[in-house]
Amino acid sequence: MGYCCSYYSMYGHVEKLAQEIKKGAESVEGIEAKIFQVAETLPEEVLGKMHAPPKTDAPIITPNELTEADGVLFGFPTRFGMMPAQFKAFLDSTGGLWRTQALAGKPAGFFYSTSAQGSGQETTALTAITQLVHHGMIFVPIGYSFGAGMFEMEQVKGGSPYGAGTYAGDGSRQPPELELAQAFHQGKYFAGFAKKLK
């Protein structure tokens, strides 16, 4: 069974979560997970002014990859409580899949990055659910299945019942072990659920 993890990451935080999600998914017997990134829409000149590092060598996703996957996890940073334009541009290109309902019944979920607490750890996923609904996809949140990690109060931790998350701060903060563990858990939980569904 194959799963797709598609992300947009300007500074690498979401990409790190995607790598852990892939590991978690592939810890489930019989699961193969592939990572894709969405195309960048900003010119190099603008990215340079934003001090964005070079993109990874993950292949650029096309709508066809979504139809070939048994399940899909989408990851992105927040822009004012919503997914960024780069990811929305990709989803806007899936109109042909929507018209034929090619993704209907396929499990999907989200993971994300925000700059700070109160910057959209839940609203970013919540506002993205409309994309799944129009495609007829099945939203698979992690709920509180991460256990005690969901109630951690001694350290700053991103994520929510909607999915794994991280806080990027000014960009210098990288996902700590607890956030990476939650991402691994989401990959494993999602792959297990989708495998049962299949």
pLDDT in tens, the chain (198 residues): 688 889 999 999 999 999 999 999 999 999 999 999 999 999 999 999 999 999 999 999 999 999 999 999 999 999 999 999 999 999 999 999 999 999 999 999 999 999 988 788 999 999 999 999 999 999 999 999 999 999 998 998 999 999 999 999 888 899 999 999 999 999 999 999 999 987
**C-alpha pair distances (Å), 151 with each of 17, 45, 160, 188:** 20, 42, 10, 20
Q: Give the 3-state secondary structure of the chain.
A: CEEEEEECCCCCHHHHHHHHHHHHHHCCCCCEEEEEECCCCCCHHHHHHCCCCCCCCCCECCHHHHHHCCEEEEEEECECCECCHHHHHHHHCCHHHHHHCCCCCCEEEEEEEECCCCCCCCHHHHHHHHHHHHHCCEECCCCCCCHHHHHCCCCCCCCECCECEEECCCCCCCCCHHHHHHHHHHHHHHHHHHHHHC
pLDDT confidence of residue 1: 66
Q: Of the candidates 48, 37, 5, 57, which has an alpha carbon nearest to the alpha carbon of residue 187?
A: 5
pLDDT of residue 4: 81
The pLDDT of residue 131 is: 97
Length, in residues, of the chain: 198
pLDDT at site 41 = 95
